[in-house]
Structure 1
Amino acid sequence: MRRILYAIAGTLSLITGLIGVVLPVLPTTPFLLLSAWCFARSNKRLHAWLINHKYFGPAINDWEKHKGIKASNKKRAYVLIVLSFSISIYVVPLTWVKVLLLFMCIALLWNMKRIKTL
């Protein structure tokens, strides 16, 4: 039963991560990492497919083996975080929401900084 729940969670997380590829508001990487974690506990074939994937595999392998992110991916993440939050702050009309978004952006950037750079 536990393997089935992990497989379902991994599949839902994978779908959410794939949606995040085209929607800039939705992050891709955390959902793919969650999928890899769930698949490692439920379905070895899906886990192998994910870690050997042309686009997603290297980042997942870096995280699973070294608990870190390559410098190039980290720089790209910084740019995308700042860009997406800047657009959101510009578009939102409410001042309190702008302030909240700014604090969220700072917190996310701080968290990214704390992750090991490979």
Structure 2
Amino acid sequence: MPEDTSIPPSIPTGIPPPPSLSPVPRAVRWLLHAFAVLCLALGVLGIFLPGLPTTVFILMAAWAAARSSPRLHEWLWYHRFFGPMLRDWARGGWVSRRAKWNASFVMALCAVVLFLTVQKLWIPILASTNMAVVLTWLWFRPEPPQA
């Protein structure tokens, strides 16, 4: 009987496989897996909670999963929402223009809320300064080439 070389239905065609990394010791693997799950949970929460970053936590989850759980890493890599940002980052630290605008909007909204609700002025000033530094870095990241 000939061997079936077709791609499993869960893996989309045209997407390169996730990068593989060398294995780590078992104890480290368990710690990294726990870290990956924690970061994934925080990243998902970040979708719904303004001020909690999604992209950073998903990137950290993918980094830890690549070293601890090939199955979780592959799931993240091919995920319809998380996969594109991971693949763009792996190809050269690319960040889409849409992600930049979304981050800018959410950070501006958080800054407004802080200035309207926090009594001590130095707190929203410090937080807004940090957000401005992050946004400056983010807008200098390269964007993926247009298809």
TM over 0.5: yes
- Structure 1: unaligned runs, 5 residues or longer: none
CA change 1:24–1:68 in 2 (3 A) is same
Q: Which runs of 4+ in 1 moved over 2 A?
A: none
1:89–1:101 contact (8 Å) kept in structure 2: no
TM-score by length of 2: 0.73
Identity %: 31
Which residue of the partner structure matches residue 70 of structure 1?
96
The structure carrying a bigger helix percent of its residues is 1
Which deviations, in whole Å up to 9, do the C-alpha atoms of 1:52-71 show, x marking residues without a partner? Answer: 11111111111112211112
1:80 maps to 106
Q: Per-residue deviation at 1:17?
A: 1.1
Deviation, 1:114, is: 2.6
The residue that corresponds to 2:117 in the other structure is 91
Instruction: Provide the residue aligned with 1:10 in structure 2.
Output: 36
What does the per-residue CA deviation read over 1:23-44, in whole Å, with 9 as the maximum and x for residues that have no partner? Answer: 1121111011000001111111
Provide, for residues 89-112 of structure 1, a one-character-per-residue CA deviation record: whole Å limited to 9, x for no partner: 222122222321231222122121
Whether the 8 Å CA contact 1:18–1:28 is kept in 2: the answer is yes
Matching residue's letter, 1:48: E
5 Å matches for 1:1-118?
1-118=27-144
